[in-house]
């Protein structure tokens, strides 16, 4: 059985992006995810404060299977990890560091990406078994902060910058040592048309490829 670390690396190999579909509905989710996957984005999270989030995640898993790594974002309670597992999700992303959420995710064999900012939170997350770290909100810290943080973290630590990071500044963050970025409204908002989403996905992925 593949470890969460290997699983995450496998799905980030084509494109180091976690697509955040905040506000997506079950009626939209398949068409939106199809556009993402077609352009190489293979890690997709549906924040749990989206309408009927668990239903959307279940639909994604049923429709696409192993074509992408699907999971929930804004996961604040350990019980939600169990619900995600039952939906077939393999990814748990949080804006904060909650030991109970991380431990439950690890117990379930799922990818755990808790939100951290300080070195104390980062080491607490890693000690709890987190697969990687989500720096949030990244724009409040900047690439230089990542350089300083990675100097003391284990060399293999996977760090994802989320919040204010995209095509225009990705190169700076990548040079600082991140493993990938989480992107929300730059790619998706519930009122974007499918044509607009397709354009946004293509622009971002082409910029990262170049």
Tell me phi and psi for residue 78, to 5 degrees.
-60, -35
Residue 92 pairs in a beta bridge with 72, 112
Average pLDDT over residues 86-108: 98
What integer pLDDT is reported at residue 206 of this predicted model?
A: 94
How far, in Å, CA of 145 to CA of 131, rounded? 20
Is the per-residue pLDDT at 1 higher than 90?
A: no
Contacts of 14 by beta carbon, 8 Å cutoff, 6+ apart: 40, 41, 42
User: Environment class of residue 13 by beta-carbon count within 10 Å: exposed (0-12), middle (13-18) or buried (19+)?
Assistant: exposed
Over the stretch 19-78, which tens digit does the pLDDT of each residue have?
A: 999 999 999 999 999 999 999 999 999 999 999 999 999 999 999 999 999 999 999 999
What integer pLDDT is reported at residue 184 of this predicted model?
A: 97
Sheet holding 133-135, edge to edge: 111-113, 91-93, 69-73, 43-47, 17-20, 180-183, 159-162, 133-135, 115-116
Mean pLDDT of the chain: 96
Is the per-residue pLDDT at 127 higher than 80?
A: yes
How far, in Å, CA of 87 to CA of 175, rounded? 36
Dmax (CA) for the chain in angstroms is 45
Work out the pLDDT band at 210, boundaries 50, 70, 90: confident
> Which residues participate in catalysis according to the annotation?
45, 134
What integer pLDDT is reported at residue 209 of this predicted model?
A: 87
Least confident of 47-51, 55-59, 89-93, 164-168: 164-168
Q: Are strands 115-116 and 91-93 parallel, antiparallel or unpaired?
A: unpaired
What integer pLDDT is reported at residue 149 of this predicted model?
A: 94
What integer pLDDT is reported at residue 150 of this predicted model?
A: 93
What integer pLDDT is reported at residue 120 of this predicted model?
A: 96
How far, in Å, CA of 153 to CA of 30, rounded? 38
Q: What domains can you pick out in the chain, each with its CATH number?
A: 4-209 (3.20.20.70)
Nearest to 4 by CA among 170, 177, 126, 97: 126
What integer pLDDT is reported at residue 68 of this predicted model?
A: 98
**pLDDT above 90 as % of the chain:** 96
How many other C-beta atoms can be found within 10 angstroms of the C-beta atom of residue 127?
A: 10
Is the per-residue pLDDT at 122 higher than 90?
A: yes
How far, in Å, CA of 27 to CA of 15, rounded? 26
Is the per-residue pLDDT at 94 higher than 90?
A: yes
């Amino acid at each position: 059985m593949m470890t969460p670390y290997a699983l995450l690396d496998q799905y980030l190999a084509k494109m180091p992006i976690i697509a955040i579909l905040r506000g997506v509905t079950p009626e939209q989710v398949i068409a939106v995810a199809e556009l993402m996957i077609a352009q190489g984005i293979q890690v997709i999270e549906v924040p749990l404060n989206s309408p009927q989030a668990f239903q959307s995640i279940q639909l994604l898993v049923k429709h696409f299977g192993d074509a992408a790594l699907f999971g929930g974002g804004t996961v604040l309670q350990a019980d939600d990890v169990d619900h995600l597992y039952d939906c077939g999700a393999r990814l748990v992303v949080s804006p904060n560091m909650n030991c109970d959420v991380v431990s439950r995710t690890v117990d379930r064999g799922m990818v755990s990406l808790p939100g951290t900012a300080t070195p104390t939170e980062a080491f607490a997350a890693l000690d709890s078994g987190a697969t990687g770290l989500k720096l949030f909100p990244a724009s409040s810290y900047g690439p230089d902060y990542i350089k300083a943080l990675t100097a003391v973290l284990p060399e293999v630590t996977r760090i994802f910058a989320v919040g204010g990071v995209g095509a225009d500044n990705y190169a700076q963050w990548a040079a600082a040592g991140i493993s990938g970025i989480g992107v929300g409204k730059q790619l998706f908002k519930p009122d974007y048309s499918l044509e607009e989403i397709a354009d946004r996905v293509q622009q971002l992925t082409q910029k990262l490829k170049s």
